Structure 1
């Protein structure tokens, strides 16, 4: 089982949106037993509170079910999860600063998987409307989809490679195990 943790500043807008989208995609693709997920905050301001009402409105509009109570990241999270996704460069800097020496999680920018190249997932918290929340949803959907697809391709390749007797006996001649197109 692989695990992901989505991080933003307060865990009420972007990271819960990403978590909800990720969970929805995992269920759609029938990968429930292969993944676990959560989200958390860098700061303590909203611990115990539910997501921003605009986050919930967008998720409801997109027919994505979700419930969550904000929590703050712990030092254990850096070893508990395989991947920790920050939403912007500031999140990544802070996560990198806080990561203990024993950390095993890969700290990545979620938007780095966005096929449209929109790498920074801007915090819509101070917006007057919900447009930024819809943009956040779209970015999370594209990025989470691309990340999951990259993991499926990697796992599929590793399974194929593991079954390939030529590779085990002769070393790394990977292309011999790939399907012919």
Structure 2
């Protein structure tokens, strides 16, 4: 069975999308689903390409127990639309840009990650220019709820996967 691939996308691949990628990887590992799912992240813009995630994002991940994550920011490519099954944007602007660059005949489903948030908060707001870490913690919690919900929904479609879930 081929792995399902997910790409998390935000403006600069510095805050929201790397945290969402780390959350997805952590949840998949904890659920024993690493053979079935894979996640990466990317940016719409070039601002942070080649850089590590924002320090407050990394601090938030470590505080939440995700200590083995590393990442170098990259920009999304046209090839990503063929390589990934889902491309998740963090807000409406990102979704708009993804649809603008989406090639014809691609396989990717483009959605807001927050669409899956059971709390109903569909936009994961960019905390980059916030003072302090509260916005990063909020984005982390939104990503966590959304990823858990997304995986639960999609595992119901894959009976072989749901049989091995232990949480």
Category of TM-score, reference length = shorter chain: over 0.9
Counterpart residue number, 2:78: 75
Counterpart residue number, 2:15: 13
Deviation at 1:37, TM superposition (A): 1.1
Counterpart residue number, 1:176: none
Gaps of 5+ in 1: 161-181
Deviation at 1:34, TM superposition (A): 0.3
- Which string of whole-angstrom CA distances, capped at 9 and with x for unpartnered residues, describes residues 67-100 of structure 1? 0000000000001000000000110000001101
Q: Structure 1 stretches (4+) deviating beyond 6 angstroms?
A: 157-160
Q: 1:142 aligns with which of 136, 141, 145?
A: 145
Counterpart residue number, 2:47: 45
Counterpart residue number, 1:114: 117
Bigger RCO of structures 1 and 2 (CA < 8 A, at least 6 apart): 2
CA distance in 1, matches of 2:133, 2:142: 14
Q: Secondary structure at the match of 1:36?
A: strand
Normalised by the length of structure 1, the TM-score is 0.86
Structure showing greater Rg: 1
Counterpart residue number, 1:27: 29
- Is the CA contact 2:33–2:161 (under 8 Å) kept in the aligned structure 1? no
CA distance in 1, matches of 2:45, 2:148: 27
Deviation at 1:102, TM superposition (A): 2.6
Counterpart residue number, 2:59: 57
> What is the alpha-carbon root mean square deviation over aligned residues?
1.6
Normalised by the length of structure 2, the TM-score is 0.93
- Equivalent pairs counted in the alignment come to 160
Q: 2:5 aligns with which of 3, 7, 22?
A: 3
CA distance in 1, matches of 2:19, 2:106: 25
Gaps of 5+ in 2: none
